[in-house]
Chain A
């Protein structure tokens, strides 16, 4: 044996932590080197935000409020939904980059090395959640710049809002990782993950569910975005949360668990 490498074999936890942080650094390096992908994914929520505020803002607010046009009221209504849509859009990138990793040889190399296996996925998940939070801050800043104000929210509510965003990002990330793992190509992964950015369009992000056609209301109501948007609105703007908080929490935990077990079982199968 050579004299230069003889690290004592650390415990499983140490190995998992060390390998995971290495993998995370690799993914963050990718994001930093190729910011165009991140920015491209931010384009949709930012465009929709500006479009709905400046082009449709007066009509939307008049239609929702039933009274006169009030663009600033509509900004307040819109921003929480746009923030969650930002998370949905960002995780599409996660699905694509996981799929890209799997189709290239590098993961096969990782699989033949004595490392903590899960660290490959953990690196993607933590990287994706951080990327989501960065994107949310970026889009949120645009919201503030065009007039969004979270007046009256306490520090605790701010923290809860942040926690909700992080949890939602974690849930969608695990689903996106699963999609990335089962997709044969990065292009297919991008297509398969599209619902993550389409679902907010049919949620209460742009108009209240009550203003939608009756037959469509259950579709808008019983999906993860609507209760999460309502909860975020309540935390930031002081509107009624009601049972939405618990429903949102259940959705997030359920999706995270589903995505986790789906990803794990797919990843542990023999590669092709």
Chain B
């Protein structure tokens, strides 16, 4: 790492290793629409960070700034020890980016796409062939290698995209919604791929609108809403931030529902669904006492479901119930 880093990164000296990605008060607006309204990030090397948010929250804009594709209006960001505005080439030399829209050349074959990347990384012919063969095999694309990339399925295109990103062995990888539009099987494949990357010691910056995905993959999650980070922490920390564990009783008979509702005053009612939600920590003891009480009161629900708080609850609690406006660009 060069010695000409900004003074702000010095405070880490002698304490923790410098972060792979850091940002302070990052801002960006298009016209009078503020897309990023002061974002702070601190992502340690070798970790997986998920930026979670609904469509139009500013996730892609954040990735574009950190990958030197566009410039920020305010604030500072450093990636791999280089300031994104001052030394974009230093940043580019350390990162790999797989954007939201497939960045493969559809007119040429998968193999030619890989060789193109190797060539741009100034590899020798022999090295290029070796790396290409290796990565195509790793991503299960050997068979399709000589077919034009435009004929690939969504999952294959995404795998080729990541394979191309890995040609330069980047230390930091940005994945902008890597599983959006993939079928469940391809999504699980992609998760496996991302876990392998992490095992190699790579830092992964991931954006997603799927809470399950962030929960599965990320060490730390930041919830981005309306250009601001609404909350940040591990999945467990975020889940602890809000209450939300409950037992849900569902009825088919309105009279039974009414009777139960008037008996269980602490329950939250959902009249259209004929359902009651009783706060609970989900422990065996609490569950048994509730069921005993229901029996004693002669209340018979048609369905009993236990709900522990998940990231969905956190997400909806943090981002508000109304859906953000979709932006048209």
Query: Which residues on A are within 8 Å of B, measured CB to CB?
Result: 1-2, 4-5, 7, 10, 15, 18-19, 22, 25-26, 29-30, 33-34, 104-106, 108-115, 270-272
Instruction: Return the chain B residue nearest A27 by Cβ.
Output: B107
A105 and B171 contact, Cβ closer than 8 Å, known pairs A111-B68, A115-B120, A271-B70 = no
Within 8 A of A (CB), among B121-159: 121-123, 127, 130-131, 148
B103–A106 CB distance below 8 A: yes
The 6 closest A-B pairs by CB, nearest first: A105-B103, A109-B103, A114-B92, A114-B93, A2-B169, A270-B70
A108 and B92 contact, Cβ closer than 8 Å, known pairs A22-B120, A271-B69 = no
- Say yes or no: is B266 at the interface (Cβ < 8 Å to chain A): no
The segment from B49-57, B94-102, B267-275, B313-321 found at the interface with A is B94-102
B122–A10 CB distance below 8 A: yes
Question: Would you give the shortest CB distance from B158 to chain A, in whole angstroms?
Answer: 11
Question: Would you give the shortest CB distance from B174 to chain A, in whole angstroms?
Answer: 8
Chain B residues near A15 (CB, 8 Å)? Answer: 122
A34 and B107 contact, Cβ closer than 8 Å, known pairs A5-B168, A271-B70 = yes
Contact with A along B52-85 (1 / 0, CB 8 A): 0000000000000001111100000000000000
- Say yes or no: is B105 at the interface (Cβ < 8 Å to chain A): yes
Within 8 A of A (CB), among B188-235: none
A49 CA to B164 CA, complexed, in Å:
46
A5–B121 CB distance below 8 A: yes
In the complex, besides A7-B121, A271-B70, 15 extra interface pairs with C-beta distance below 8 angstroms are A4-B130, A22-B120, A26-B108, A29-B107, A104-B103, A105-B101, A106-B104, A108-B97, A110-B120, A111-B68, A111-B69, A112-B67, A112-B92, A112-B97, A270-B69
Query: Which residues on B are within 8 Å of A, measured CB to CB?
Result: 67-71, 89, 92-93, 95, 97, 99, 101-108, 112, 116, 119-123, 127, 130-131, 148, 164-165, 168-169, 171, 329
A106–B105 CB distance below 8 A: yes
A114 CA to B89 CA, complexed, in Å:
6
B103–A4 CB distance below 8 A: no
Chain A residues near B99 (CB, 8 Å)? Answer: 105, 108-109
A114 CA to B169 CA, complexed, in Å:
13
B97–A7 CB distance below 8 A: no
A160 CA to B119 CA, complexed, in Å:
36
Instruction: Return the chain A residue nearest B168 by Cβ.
Output: A5
Question: Would you give the shortest CB distance from B180 to chain A, in whole angstroms?
Answer: 13
A7 CA to B69 CA, complexed, in Å:
24
Report which of B71, B105, B148, B171 forms a contact with A1, defined as CB distance below 8 A: B171
Chain A residues near B101 (CB, 8 Å)? Answer: 104-105, 108
A22 CA to B121 CA, complexed, in Å:
10
A19–B120 CB distance below 8 A: yes
A30 CA to B109 CA, complexed, in Å:
11
Which of A4, A15, A26, A29 has the largest count of B CB atoms less than 10 A from its CB?
A26
Chain B residues near A106 (CB, 8 Å)? Answer: 103-105
Which of B103, B116, B120, B168 has the largest count of A CB atoms less than 10 A from its CB?
B120
Instruction: Return the chain B residue nearest A19 by Cβ.
Output: B120
A30 and B108 contact, Cβ closer than 8 Å, known pairs A7-B123, A22-B120, A112-B97 = yes
A112 CA to B103 CA, complexed, in Å:
11
Question: Can you identify 11 A-B contacts, CB atoms within 8 angstroms?
Answer: A4-B127, A5-B169, A22-B120, A26-B116, A33-B148, A106-B104, A108-B69, A108-B101, A109-B165, A110-B120, A114-B93
